[in-house]
Amino acid sequence: MGALFSSFVGMTFKWKGLTWVGFVFAVAALCNKRAHDADTKQIITGSVFAFSALLISAMHSWQGAKARALITSDEL
């Protein structure tokens, strides 16, 4: 649940740190999973959402860097 919440808030407000926290929560949930846990769907959903939020955050920062480089080259 922490992975879903952290990833959602990090992705919504574009906070990379909170997105990483969500990813760490998702990895911890996967590592602590026991055989008798019935929350497999919730753990998988949180992990996929955390990974996708991290990927979207990385792509957004890459596009921002590309746009900033374009603006500075036009000013010269």
Alpha-carbon dihedral angle through residues 26, 31, 36, 41, given to the nearest 10 degrees: 30
Which residue range(s) make up the domain with 49? Answer: 2-75
Q: What is the pLDDT of residues 51-76, one digit of tens each?
A: 888 888 877 776 666 666 766 665 55
Q: What is the pLDDT of residues 11-66, one digit of tens each?
A: 777 778 888 888 888 888 888 877 666 577 877 888 888 888 888 887 777 666 66
Domain count, the chain: 1
pTM here is 0.64
Tokens representing 28 are 């911890």
Length in residues, the chain: 76
